[in-house]
């Protein structure tokens, strides 16, 4: 009987080991899916177009293309950490760029004042969003969507659908100046991401914001000023949209109507891509920034392969849908265990 029992136990070991290995592999893929996708895309374009993709000039192009979206995505990440949405950021980029460039073109104001105007417009819209969500208690989806519509109307009122060119060189230098081969806009984007990362991870405010996102009622009971935290986060997101407006206009070396419209979807796609980094199912700055770089790399790679522009839009939509679906399935599986 002992020999038979030992034999049965030995036969059962491989049966138990197989599901364990599958579970471990699945956990690894889920935990590092963003980095796996990043490595896969890099390998694909490196093999497809090695003479163009694997160059310093192309790396510079990817970093440059990621600059505007990177600033916007890390700002959006702050709101997502709260468990809220800000759907006005694309329109805020447009109205802030219009006000900034218009100040130089119509009134001849300096670059410093123009940049301050863009940041001020972003902060004001962010403040309005924060007050509407925190104190009036309008759902963020509705409040920011409405504010985005107002911002879009204000942009048209400022510019009358005009295109502004011939911007001051000092304004263009915000995007075009380079240090050690890296553009100032790429350096600014990395700096903003680092600053927001430090705020979220090392400050009392960052811990409060995370607590509000996890459970607002419990955070309030522990003394966290929930409403104030929400307002500040929306203001910071608005400031990031204002800065993105300056980078967008200076990168394009002009202003054109609805300049910020195309940034909303990829900003959220990058943030949701970053949610998978590390397996914690938490929105985080590092993941969002890597998501931006992934989208920029894919867009640049498709351009190198002479693919039409609409392909990149399809990829961005598919990425966002896949990321959200994967997160939903993982959370359902976590709850089911």
pLDDT digits (tens, 9 = 90+) for 74-132: 999 999 999 999 999 999 999 999 999 988 888 888 999 999 999 999 999 999 999 99
Measured CA to CA, the distance from residue 329 to residue 315 in angstroms comes to 21
Single out the residue of 192, 183, 187, 210 nearest to residue 280, CA to CA.
210
- The answer to whether residues 268 and 193 touch, using CB atoms and an 8 Å cutoff, is no
Q: What is the mean pLDDT of the chain?
A: 86
Q: What is the torsional sign of CA 249, 149, 265, 323?
A: positive
Model confidence pLDDT, tens digit, residues 123-154? 999 999 999 999 999 999 999 999 999 999 99
pLDDT of the residue at 106: 80
- The answer to whether residues 249 and 97 touch, using CB atoms and an 8 Å cutoff, is yes
pLDDT of the residue at 107: 82
Helices (H) and strands (E) in the chain, counts: 15, 2
CA distances from 32 to 27, 72, 142, 326 (A): 9, 24, 34, 13
Q: Which residues pair with 179 in a beta bridge?
A: 182
pLDDT classification of 4: cutoffs 50, 70, 90: low
Among 13-22, 162-171, 241-250, 307-316, the least confident range? 13-22
What does pTM read for this prediction?
A: 0.87
pLDDT of the residue at 240: 97
* CA angle, residues 128, 239, 90, in degrees to nearest 5: 80
Is it the case that residue 47 has pLDDT exceeding 80?
yes
pLDDT classification of 319: cutoffs 50, 70, 90: confident
What is the set of domains in the chain, with CATH numbers?
33-336 (1.10.3470.10)
pLDDT classification of 10: cutoffs 50, 70, 90: low
Model confidence pLDDT, tens digit, residues 217-229? 999 999 999 999 9
Q: Which letter, b or e, does each residue of 177-213 get, where b requires 16 or more Cβ atoms within 10 Å of its Cβ?
A: eeeeeebbbbbbbbebbeebbeebeeeebbebbbbbb
Is it the case that residue 291 has pLDDT exceeding 70?
yes
């Amino acid at each position: 009987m002992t020999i038979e029992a030992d034999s049965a136990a030995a036969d059962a070991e491989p049966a138990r080991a197989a599901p364990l290995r599958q579970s471990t592999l699945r956990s690894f893929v889920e935990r590092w899916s963003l980095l796996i996708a990043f490595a896969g895309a890099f390998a694909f374009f490196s093999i497809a177009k090695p003479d163009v993709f694997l160059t310093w000039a192309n790396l510079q192009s990817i970093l440059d293309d990621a600059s505007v979206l990177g600033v916007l995505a890390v700002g959006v990440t702050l709101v997502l950490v709260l468990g809220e949405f800000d759907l006005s950021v694309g329109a805020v980029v447009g109205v802030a760029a219009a006000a900034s460039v218009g100040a130089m073109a119509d009134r001849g104001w300096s670059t410093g004042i123009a940049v301050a105007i863009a940041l001020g417009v972003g902060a004001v819209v962010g403040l309005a969003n924060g007050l509407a969500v925190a104190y009036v208690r309008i759902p963020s989806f509705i409040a920011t969507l409405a504010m985005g519509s107002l911002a879009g109307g204000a942009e048209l009122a400022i510019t009358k659908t005009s295109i502004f060119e011939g911007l001051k060189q000092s304004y263009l230098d915000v995007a075009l100046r380079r240090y050690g081969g890296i553009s100032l806009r790429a350096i600014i984007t990395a700096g903003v991401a680092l600053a927001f990362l430090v705020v979220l991870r090392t400050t009392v405010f960052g811990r409060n914001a995370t607590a509000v996102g996890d459970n607002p009622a419990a955070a309030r009971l522990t003394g966290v000023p929930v409403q104030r935290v929400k307002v500040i986060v929306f203001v910071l997101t608005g400031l990031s949209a204002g800065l993105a407006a300056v980078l967008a206009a200076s990168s394009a070396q002009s202003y054109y109507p609805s300049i910020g419209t195309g940034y909303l979807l990829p900003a959220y796609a990058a943030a949701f891509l970053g949610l998978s980094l590390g397996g914690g199912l938490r929105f985080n700055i590092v993941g969002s920034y890597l998501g931006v770089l992934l989208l920029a790399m894919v867009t640049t790679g498709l351009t190198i392969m002479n693919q039409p522009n609409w392909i990149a839009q399809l990829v961005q939509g598919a990425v966002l849908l896949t990321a959200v679906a994967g997160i939903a399935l993982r959370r359902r599986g976590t709850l089911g265990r």
